[in-house]
């Protein structure tokens, strides 16, 4: 129950995107998403990260030392950034490359969209 | 079951620290940890982040668009960094300030330790 | 004199890359580099950043307050990251897109190389 | 000429700070700034960074490969972040510790100010 609510909030917090953009481009190549080839790997990484986040809450609940909590938060942040970088590479290698082959306009739109996502990653 | 295992892994993944350092310093001021005054607030933030992480796994499982997954991973990374910055401020304002008042050596040790934690935050 | 030496050091500090990779790919499309269309704009930004760096040295030399120096260092770091993001976008939109159109192997090699550069940007 | 203009711009670009804050605190301990003990070291690092920035402009002017320019921009960004981290440590170890010993109010004000500077560093 709580879980469902939290997840909804999380999804709502996401920056909205232009649906027409990727639907069109998806239509252009009819292929799966960039991460599809390693979906199980990504799910495993996310479950591990979820466990780490829960571990941090436990550390706080048990009054562990601030610096140890901080070290663990940095470790999780790093793990999330590694997931982001893997998603970017998969996206460039599939969606962007496919769009570039489909048409110049599709390629340009995908490059623009990917660049904005990379900027969000860097400008955290 | 799975949860407990994951949490243990998460804790083991933490960089070990020199126990003597903060125990001594803690002894010097006998105070609570820096985040103690807002423990409930930190726990709430971590639970929300846990829900967001679970939401990302669901997005991947339901084959949502790469860029939308990426946007959500960036949002969670940002939320974790906000927690880190709050922990740093609480740590400086309590543990470091108390150590500085206790003795020059305690203050210097705490500043060193805090600086290393800040570097881990920046050099992600 | 000093300038020349410093510049040489700077260039040597760069991570070496596999020359055959981009020469081949360059040969595949015979086009200019990604940033060529706005070379003057990039040069102007770098000259401005050089002036800011010199300004920071002056602030230190004149014993200005640490936090003010820090604020200025953060501003320059941000300006450099903006240049990096612009270079990434230009590179994706020209070199990577051209390689993707030339052949699957060229596209894959360019995506790999670009992803590594993005990782260096994020993992600072 | 150009140099002077650029430097002025750079200085103006800095986020203004509350002068009363650090002047009061400085008055409280009458000591030098945090980085004073290694002013020559900081000046040397800034001069080296200036040379690296000039080297990047030269790379762009000579049409070097995008990825090589990016690698060099990342190297300079990293060097600037290392300077920032050193400034933070020196600031905590001198200005913040001195303020903490002077009075609770001075300590709290310095911790607040340092935390904001650290946030600018992390949230780049």
Query: Chain B residues with CB inside 8 Å of D35's CB?
Result: none
User: Do D83 and D42 touch, CB atoms closer than 8 A?
Assistant: yes
Task: Find chain B residues with C-beta within 8 A of A70's C-beta.
Answer: 84, 87-88, 91, 117, 120-121
Q: What is the pLDDT along chain A (124 residues), one digit of tens a residue?
A: 333 333 333 333 344 444 444 444 433 444 568 888 899 999 999 999 999 999 999 999 999 999 999 999 999 999 999 999 999 999 999 999 999 999 999 999 999 999 999 999 998 6
Q: B41: which 2 tokens? A: 């607030």
Instruction: Determine the Cα–Cα distance for residues D67 and C116; give it in Å rounded to an integer.
Output: 10
User: Mean of the pLDDT values across residues B25-36?
Assistant: 58
In chain C, what residues touch B123 (CB-CB under 8 Å)? 123-124
Which of C25-29, C63-67, C77-81 is the least confident region?
Answer: C25-29
Average of per-residue pLDDT across B17-28: 42
* Length of chain C in terms of residues written: 124
Those chains having 3 or more beta-carbon pairs within 8 angstroms of chain B are: A, C, D
Closest CA of chain D from B62, distance in Å? 31
Note the pLDDT of residue D46.
98
What would the pLDDT profile of D33-54 be if each residue is shown by its tens digit? 888 889 999 999 999 999 999 9
b/e for B3-26, b at 16 or more Cβ within 10 A?
eeebbeebbebbeeeeeebbeebb
Choose, out of A81, A89, A104, A116, the residue to mutate when testing the contact with C (most C CBs < 10 Å).
A89
Q: Where are the alpha helices (DSSP H) in B14-96?
A: 19-29, 39-61, 66-91
For the residues C9-18, what does the mean pLDDT come to?
Answer: 40
In this prediction, residue B91 carries a pLDDT of 97
User: What is the average pLDDT across B98-120?
Assistant: 97
Task: Say what the pLDDT of residue B36 is.
Answer: 84
Is residue D24 predicted with pLDDT exceeding 60?
Answer: no
Alpha-carbon Rg of chain C, whole angstroms? 18
> What stretches of chain D show up as alpha helix (H) in DSSP?
2-13, 19-29, 39-61, 66-91, 97-102, 104-122
- Among D16, C94, A69, C69, smallest CA distance to B14 is for A69
Q: Which of C3, C22, C47 sits opposite D51 (nearest CB)?
A: C3
For the residues C41-59, what does the mean pLDDT come to? 98
Give the number of B-C residue pairs with CB atoms closer than 8 Å: 6
Any CB–CB contact under 8 A between C83 and chain D?
yes
Neighbouring chains of C at 3+ CB pairs within 8 Å?
A, B, D
Task: Summarize pLDDT for D50-81 with one digit per residue, the tens.
Answer: 999 999 999 999 999 999 999 999 999 999 99
pLDDT exceeds cutoff 70 at D110:
yes
What residues of chain A lie within 8 A of the CB of D123, using their CB?
Answer: 123-124
Of all residues in chain D, the one with the smallest CA distance to A124 is D123
Q: What is the model's pLDDT at position D67?
A: 96
User: Is C103 near chain A, with CB under 8 Å?
Assistant: no
ipTM of the complex: 0.77
Sequence-distant (6+) residues with CB within 8 A of D20 are none
C-chain CB neighbours of D59 within 8 Å are: 11
Q: In this predicted structure, what is the pLDDT of residue C37?
A: 85
| B123 at C interface, C-beta within 8 A | yes
pTM of model > 0.90: no
Which residue out of C4, C14, C26, C63 would a mutagenesis test of the D interface target, given it has the greatest number of D Cβ atoms within 10 Å? C14
């Amino acid at each position: 129950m709580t879980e469902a609510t939290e997840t909804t909030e999380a999804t709502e917090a996401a920056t909205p995107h232009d649906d027409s953009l990727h639907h069109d481009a998806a239509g252009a190549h009819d292929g799966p998403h960039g991460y599809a080839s390693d979906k199980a790997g990504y799910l495993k990484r996310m479950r591990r990260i979820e466990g780490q986040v829960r571990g941090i809450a436990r550390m706080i609940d048990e009054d562990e030392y601030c610096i140890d909590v901080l070290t663990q938060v940095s470790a999780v942040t790093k793990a999330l950034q590694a997931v982001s970088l893997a998603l970017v590479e998969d996206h460039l290698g599939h969606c962007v490359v496919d769009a570039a082959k489909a048409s110049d306009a599709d390629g340009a739109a995908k490059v623009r969209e990917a660049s904005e996502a990379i900027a969000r990653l860097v400008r955290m």
